[in-house]
Amino acid sequence: MNWTRRVGRRMDALLRGDQIDRDLEEEMRIHVELEAEEIARVEGVAPDEARRRALVAFGGLTRYQEEHRGVRGVGALEQSWREVRQAVRGLMRSPGFTLAAVGVLALGIGSTTAVFSAVNAVLRNPNHDDLAIVFYRGFPSLSTVDYRAIEEQQRSFSVVGAMRRGEAAFRAGGEPERLQVARVTTGFFRAVGLRPVAGRLIESRDEPVGAERVAVLSHAVAERALGGAAGAVGQRVTLDGFAHTVIGVLPPSRELLIAQVDIFTALQLAAPTRRGPFGMAVVGRLTPGSSFESATRDLTAISTRVFDLWSPTGGDRTARYEAIPIRSAALATPSRMLGIFGVAVGLVLLIGVANVASLMLVRAIGRSREVSLRAVLGASPLQLVRMFVTESALLCGAGALVGIAVGYLALRALVAIGPAMPGLSTSSLDSRAVLFAAGVAVLAGIVVGSYPAVMLLRKGHVGLSSGDRTIGGGRGTRMLRSGFVVAQFALALPLLAVSGLLVLSFVRLQQVDPGFDPANLLTVRVSLPTGQYGDSTAIAAYWARALPRVREVAGVRSVGLGSSTPPDDFGNSNDNFNLMDRPAPPGTAEPNGPWPSADAGYFEALGVRLLEGRMFAPSDTGVAPVALASRSWVRKYYPRESALGKTMVRGGCTECPPTTIVGVVDDVRYSGPAGPLDALYSPVVENAPRTLFVYIRTATAPDELIRPVREALRSVDPSVPLDDAMSMNGRLYAYVAQPRQWATLLGAFAAAALALAAIGVFGMLLYMVSTRRREIGVRMAIGAQPRKIVQMVVRSGLIHAVIGSVLGLAAALIGTRALTSVLYEVSPGDPATLGLATLALLAVALVACWLPARRAAAIDPLEAIRHE
C-alpha cells in the first residue's frame, strides 16, 4: 500500500481541514438537492416535502461530516494542532510576558550560539591539528642555522618551512605604502596548507640567492593595488625600491601566521657565518605517526648537535627546540578570552532560562482558576499537562528561532567590531551550538511548563473553590520558585565580579605612566625604500634634509627620531649584549632587552630627562659606539655603581668595537605596561635603521599637524611611504583598545544579568503580594503599620538575593582565578571589586523588592478582605 500518499493526504487533511470540510458540505448539499428533485419528479410532492424526505434518506448531515473526519484519521494530530493554536491564543493574551520571555531566551541563545560559533571558527580549525611551530628558549624565533639543521635532520614532519617577517615600501603605480612582508621558503605554504587562487606560490627555483625577484600577494593587496587576483599575476610591483614580478595571489584567508602579511617573497638563505640572527619562524606539519611530544624529542636531539657546533658564536647551550602546537602558540590569548566570554554568555543563558522559568511559574499559578475550570468541565489531567507543556515549548521554540537570528547578527557584529582574531571573519553560525542552546531552552521550557500540571495531578483533585491554593501555595512550587530566583542572583554575581575586575584592570592600564607626557605629541612612521636608500649615508642625507623641514612647520616645538615606539614596541628592537666586565659564561644566554635607536631630539620631544653623563652628540658617528642606558637598566646591571663608562659587545658580534655607556636617562615603557623598564639606546646614525618614527612635540592639538607634517616630509621625497601618523594619546588609547572591548562586552553581559535577576525577584514579589492581598489586608486591619508590611515584603525578597549572592560570591572566588593572566595589577580575588559587585547586586535587588512592597503597603484592607 502506498503509505507516502496516505501520509501526504493526512497532512493535507490536517492543514487544509477547513477546505475539505467545505468541499464535503457542498458535495452533500448537491446530493440532497438532486435527491429532492428526483423525489419531487417521481412522487410529485411539493419541493419542501421532497427536501425533507431527501434529508431523512440521507441520514443527518452533521453525523456523516463527523464520521468523515474520523475516516480522515487526523484525530491526534488535529488535536495537537488545536492545542498549539490554543497556546498561541493564550500567549497572545499576555503580550508583555510573551515578548519578555521570547526576548530573554533569544538573547541568551543568540549570544551563546554566536560565541560558540566564534570559538569553533577560531579554536577548532582542523587545519591546525598537526601544525607545529618550533620554539627556542620560549620564543618562536630561530636562525638560519637552526632552520637548516631542522630541515635536514628532522624525522617528525612531512614538510618544514620558514618565514621571516618584515616591512617594505610597496608601490604599484599609485602612492607608496608600507606593507607587511614575509619572506618564506617553499615548504612554508605547504606546511601551513595554502594554495594560490591565481598563479603559483614560492617554489624552490625562487630560493637560490640571486634568483629572479618574485612576489605572492595577499588577496586584499591584489584587489586594492592591482585590480583583482586574476589580473595581478605577471604584473611588476616595486618593493623597497626593487622591481618584483607578481607570480601568484593567495585566497582571502585569515590563516594563523599570515593574517597580517600583505606580500610574500622568497626567503633566500645565504650560508650562515654565525648562530644568529634570530627572528625566523619555523613551522612543520606532523607526519601521521608523530605527535608534538615525539617531534620535540626529535628536535631536542638536533638542538644538542647544533648548539655544540655553533656555541662559539653565542647562544644558550642548555636551551632546546620544542615543537609547540600552533594553536597554543598563536591562540593563547584569544582562547583564554573566548573561554571567559563563553562562560559569560553561558551564564546569561542560564540566568535567562531561570528567569523565564520563574515567570512561567508565576503565570501558571495565575491561571489556576482557568485550569480548575477546565478540569471541572472534563479536561483530563493529561490534557492539562499538555496544555502547559505546549505553551512553554512554544515559547521556548519561538525564543530559539529568534535566538538563531540574534546569534547570526551577534556573530556578524563580533566579526565586524570585535577583537581581531584569526579565522573569526570566516566563521558562520555553528549548527551544533544552535542545537545545543535551543535544546537547553526547550528542555527547560518543557520541564518548567509541565511542573504546575504535574503538581495538579499529584494532588489528585482540582477544586474550583480551592483553585488558587492548590498550585500557588504548594510548598514544592514555592521552593522551586525561590530556587530560580536564588539561582539568578548566584549566576549574576560572578558575571558582575568578572566585569568589575576587567574594568578595574583596564583603568589601571590607562593610568600607567609611560615615562613621558603623551599630550601634544605626534608620531609619524617613515620607511625609506632600500632601492633609493641603500646605505647609511643616503639615509643620513634624507634625514639631514627632512628634519629641518619638519621643524619649520608652524606649531612644531621639537622633533626627534626613534626606532621603537612606546608602549609596546619592544619586539622591534630587542638585542642581546655581553658586558665586558661581567661576560656571560660560555654556553649560557647573554642578557637581552630593548635596544632602540634614537637621536638627542627624541629625548627632548618626549621629555625624557638625562639623569647622568651626557646626551648623544654630533661626534657620535659610530666609530666608537656609544649608548644611553635607562635608569632601570642601570639598577638591574649596576645597582651599586655608576654605569658611566661601562662597555659591552652587542648582538653576539665578535669583531665589533665595544659600546660605551655615556649617559643615563629616565625610564620609558617599551615592553608593555607590565613589562620591565630596562632599555639601551644607540644613536640613530650608528645603525641607520631604514624605518624610523618622527616624534613631534606640538604647541597645539597634534592631529592638526598631521597634514602639514606629511606635506613637509613629502616635499623631501614623494616616493617615501609615510604612515601610522597618530597622536601619542591615540597610540596609548589603541593599545588598551582590546582590554576596553572585553571590559565593555562583559560589562554589557553583567548589566543584562543584573537586570534579569532584578526582574526575577520583582516578578516573584509582585506575585507574592497579589496572592497574599487578603493576609496583608487582615494584618493592616488589625493594626500593622505600612512600614511593617514594606519590611516584610522586602525581607522575603532580599533573603533570596542574599543567599544567591553568597553562593555567587563563592563561585566568583573560584571562577575569577581564570582571569589571572589577563588582569593588569588586579588580583582576581580583589576584595574591593567583589564587595562592590555584591553591593551593586543587593542594591538593585533592594529596589526590585521595594517596588512591590510599596504596592503591598498601599493595599486597602477593607477592599482586600472583601475581594475574596
Partner 1 sequence: MPSRADLLQGTLDLLILKALVLGPLHGWGISKRLRQISGEVLEVGQGSLYPALYRLEDRGWVTAEWGTSDEGRRAKVYTLTADGRRQLALERSYWRRFSAAVDEVLAAT
- Of 1 and 416, nearer to partner 1 (C-beta) is 1
From 65-73, 241-249, 323-331, 675-683, give the range in contact with partner 1 by CB under 8 A: 65-73
Contact between 604 and partner 1 per CB under 8 A: no
Contact between 9 and partner 1 per CB under 8 A: yes
Query: How many residues of this chain bind partner 1 (CB under 8 A)?
Result: 26
Query: What's the closest the beta carbon of residue 344 comes to partner 1, in angstroms?
Result: 56
- Of 9 and 710, nearer to partner 1 (C-beta) is 9
- Of 19 and 328, nearer to partner 1 (C-beta) is 19
Contact between 243 and partner 1 per CB under 8 A: no
**Cα 650 to Cα 562: distance, rounded to the nearest angstrom:** 19
Select from 271, 348, 400, 325 the least CA-distant residue to 125.
325
- Of 39 and 387, nearer to partner 1 (C-beta) is 39
Contact between 1 and partner 1 per CB under 8 A: yes
- Number of neighbouring beta carbons within 10 Å of residue 669: 23
- Of 78 and 703, nearer to partner 1 (C-beta) is 78
**Cα 189 to Cα 193: distance, rounded to the nearest angstrom:** 6
Binder among 14, 64, 213, 621 for partner 1 (CB under 8 A): 64
Listed in sequence order, the residues at least 6 apart from 395 whose beta carbon sits closer than 8 Å to its beta carbon are: 91, 98, 101, 102, 105, 356, 360, 445
For 275, which DSSP code?
S
Contact between 551 and partner 1 per CB under 8 A: no
Positions in 129-168 near partner 1 (CB under 8 A) = none
DSSP result, 132-185? EEEEETTBS-B-HHHHHHHHHH--SEEEEEEEEEEEEEEESSSS-EEEEEEEE-
Contact between 70 and partner 1 per CB under 8 A: yes
Alpha-carbon distance values, 823 to 327, 503, 508, 817, 831 (Å): 22, 10, 10, 10, 15
Binder among 22, 63, 297, 867 for partner 1 (CB under 8 A): 63
- Of 23 and 48, nearer to partner 1 (C-beta) is 23
**Cα 840 to Cα 847: distance, rounded to the nearest angstrom:** 11
The number of helix segments (H) and strand segments (E) in the chain equals 29, 22
* Grid cell listed for 405: 537570528
Contact between 273 and partner 1 per CB under 8 A: no
- Of 70 and 312, nearer to partner 1 (C-beta) is 70
Binning the chain into helix, strand and coil, the percentages to the nearest 5 are 60, 15, 25
- Of 69 and 190, nearer to partner 1 (C-beta) is 69
Query: What's the closest the beta carbon of residue 46 comes to partner 1, in angstroms?
Result: 20
Cβ pair 468, 368 in contact under 8 A: yes
Contact between 68 and partner 1 per CB under 8 A: yes
**Cα 322 to Cα 607: distance, rounded to the nearest angstrom:** 43
Query: What's the closest the beta carbon of residue 31 comes to partner 1, in angstroms?
Result: 4
**Cα 687 to Cα 625: distance, rounded to the nearest angstrom:** 10
Query: What's the closest the beta carbon of residue 76 comes to partner 1, in angstroms?
Result: 17
Element (H, E) at 127: none
Positions in 26-45 near partner 1 (CB under 8 A) = 27-28, 30-31, 34-35, 38
Contact between 49 and partner 1 per CB under 8 A: no
- Of 2 and 821, nearer to partner 1 (C-beta) is 2
Listed in sequence order, the residues at least 6 apart from 390 whose beta carbon sits closer than 8 Å to its beta carbon are: 80, 83, 84, 86, 87, 449
From 63-71, 259-267, 537-545, 793-801, give the range in contact with partner 1 by CB under 8 A: 63-71
**Cα 188 to Cα 155: distance, rounded to the nearest angstrom:** 17
Query: What's the closest the beta carbon of residue 16 comes to partner 1, in angstroms?
Result: 14
Listed in sequence order, the residues at least 6 apart from 815 whose beta carbon sits closer than 8 Å to its beta carbon are: 343, 494, 498
From 23-31, 246-254, 629-637, 694-702, give the range in contact with partner 1 by CB under 8 A: 23-31
- Of 68 and 336, nearer to partner 1 (C-beta) is 68
First-to-last C-alpha distance (Å) of the chain? 62
- Of 62 and 821, nearer to partner 1 (C-beta) is 62
Contact between 67 and partner 1 per CB under 8 A: yes
Query: What's the closest the beta carbon of residue 2 comes to partner 1, in angstroms?
Result: 6
Contact residues toward partner 1 (CB under 8 A) are: 1-2, 5-6, 9, 23-24, 27-28, 30-31, 34-35, 38, 57-61, 63-64, 67-68, 70-72
